[in-house]
Amino acid sequence: MAQYVKSVLIPREEIDKMVTRLADQITEDYKGKEIVMVGVLKGSFIFLSDLVRKIDLPMILDFMSVSSYYGGTKSSGVVKIVKDMDIDIEGRHVIIVEDIVDSGLTLQHLKEMLLTRNPASLRVCAAFDKPDRRKADIAAEYTGMKIPDEFIIGYGLDYDGKHRNLPDVCILAIEGGNE
């Protein structure tokens, strides 16, 4: 195993089953509707590409890029849109696709921001969830897997911009990796 990997937390076969379960649920819940799936870059790119190919609905795909600024130790954050989505979501059924919900602050602010654009509905689908670290009172409507308070890499998730290409979700092997 590479020296930056402590251990494999979720093997690719398990991830695949998780994605199928989420896709089936979304396909059922939005039957007869057209959806807009918005991937939050960069972490969601692999999850999104797996997920959309398993969803049997008409859809428009778009992307956003955001960065979060947290003021000191305060549990309030501001989300800045680095790249906005291209389409107008007014009156549309929107699903935000995230890699992981950690403190939940990014998601909370992103949701508030997108709700001002008057979508017909707005839900969140997150591959992973670290409920132990939550600061904002928020949960994704669709969650792949709950994970312990460890810093994970792979399947799109990075440490310092690296390791997104690992096919399994792994626990990072460096001291201080949990922030």
Among the listed ranges 20-28, 47-55, 96-104, 111-119, the one in contact with ligand IMP (CB under 6 A) is 96-104
- 101 contacts ligand IMP (rule: CB under 6 A): yes
Contact residue for ligand IMP among 39, 43, 119, 154 (CB under 6 A)? 43
136-to-67, 78, 97, 139, 151 alpha-carbon distances in Å: 17, 12, 18, 9, 19
What does 63 bind: Mg ion, ligand IMP, none (CB cut-off 5 to 8 Å by kind)?
Answer: none
Is 29 one of the catalytic residues? no
Choose from ligand IMP, Mg ion, none: what does 68 bind? Cβ within 5-8 Å by kind.
ligand IMP
Among the listed residues 24, 84, 99, 102, the single catalytic one is: 102
What is the C-alpha end-to-end distance of the chain, expressed in Å?
A: 23
Could you say which of 25, 27, 68, 121 contacts ligand IMP (CB under 6 A)?
Answer: 68
Dihedral sign, Cα of residue 43, residue 46, residue 52, residue 55? negative
CB closer to ligand IMP out of 57 and 171: 171
Alpha helices in the chain (DSSP H): 12-29, 45-52, 105-115
> Which of these ranges, 24-32, 86-94, 102-110, 116-124, lies near ligand IMP under the rule CB under 6 A?
102-110
Say how many CA atoms lie within 13 Å of 101 toward its Cβ. 29
**Active site residues per annotation:** 102
